[in-house]
Structure 1
Amino acid sequence: MAICDVLNTSAGATLLRASRTLAVRLRHPVHHLWLERQQWHDQSQRSFSYFTHLTYWGLAFYHAFAAIHTSSYWLTGVPFLARWRKPLQIAHSMFYSTVVIYPWIVTIVYWALLAPGRFPCAFSLWSNTSRHALNSLTSPLPWLDMVPTIILPALYLGLAYLTHATQEFYVYDFLDLQENPSGIVAAYIIGILVTAVVIFVILRYLIMLRVWVTEKKLGKTGKFSSRGAEHRVNVSDCQIQGKSDK
């Protein structure tokens, strides 16, 4: 029987109506899912324009490297960090300092300038608290590490304005030169860089205080692996190079 003959029967007509009803009912959720996909696609394209996301990636990579160093120490008694050349050890130390400092900058800037008066739902409150507060919760910071701590946010400003030039939106409203006087924007930028320096100094001495209390006063120095004892001096040298100037 041809398909047209089937559709001309009562059963065929019923099937056709059911198919149309199903298509109508599916059209809205499918369209909604398509819009959601487009929204997530657009957000993913803009993700690396946000300093918060870059800071999160920095935290993720630091903890990944920390896991690798810890695993190598557990397996061999000598972490990979102790086997690296001095420039790589210094770079790792600077990386650590950015992981300590930048979450505090994110926290202060968000809650001082960007946070809404109230959050629309519990998930939004939890999500923003997690991203802009709990990531600030570390060894003393070498003074040399202050240099990249200041330079990298300055370079980020170039990325923020490049994003505006290519995608026509400002990542953060306080950088908008069309809505804010140039002097105000400059004051925000200088204020953030000065804040980075202040946070660096405060955290350096807070961490040194913590180390003094836990290691010197309480004797909580931890236990070393019995393997790789001949490299132990090298390990202590490359843990945090700023310890010598405590």
Structure 2
Amino acid sequence: MNKTRYSLTDIGINLTDSVFDADRETVIQSAESAGVKRMLITGTTAAESEKAISLCQQHPNTLFCTAGVHPHYSKEFSPAIRDTLAALLKQPEVRAVGETGLDFNRNVSSPEQQIRAFEQQLELAAESGLPLFLHERDAHNKQIEMLRHARDHLHGGVAHCFTGSRKELYNYLDLDLYIGITGWICDERRGGELLGLVKDIPANRLMLETDAPYLIPRNLNPKPKSRRNLPAYLIHILEQVAQERACDPQELALQTEANCQRLFRFNQTKEEAGQ
């Protein structure tokens, strides 16, 4: 693998996670050397979103972030948190609202709490003019219902870490959303259905992400000693997706970068983007 061949954006990395505290700068530098020139840090709470912005400010043009409240933390959502998010979404480093959505698998927060927090963040997306960075697990029907209801007021978004069914894929595509593919596609135990679906994603709707430090590609060769996923491994995900789609990985890299620019407008200020 030619580590300098591509120029990619990792649209989902949990770079504020404490597992990166000891070597965060090295992780960023290694990613850039591998061809991952830009990373979008995932905001999961108001506090984590603030940390992400601070980190982005130390690496302008390389790091950007989202700001939002993950469904697990919906129980913490309050008018004060909403006001904090509204202010954070005005920062130039922030390019999407999220990670937001519904997760009825673990119900760390109750479904009612999740729905209320998601409603508020849909409103924030409409108010800010920013796209959505969406999480969903075992809650697809309700999430699609809410997205359809709000659709006319939204400014696009991406179904982060998509691992769903064909019907779920087309539900998202029917809403003109982008689809984020992770190293899940490299997992022979769980990724079989996704391998069959990745060919059906329109090229202009496909994005790539690691979700690091989670979801390390299982078929890395040689296998790294650590089970921690890294943004540098996005190259491996790109090449796996290109293989399944029977396309040139360089062309796929260029297409996914064009998609990222279209949705997140990395090269524009918010004033230029009309926000």
Q: What TM bracket, shorter-length normalisation?
A: under 0.3
Higher normalized strand content (fraction of residues):
2
* Larger relative contact order, structure 1 or 2 (CA cutoff 8 Å, min sep 6): 1
Higher normalized helix content (fraction of residues):
1
Please give the TM-score of this superposition, normalised by the length of structure 1.
Answer: 0.26
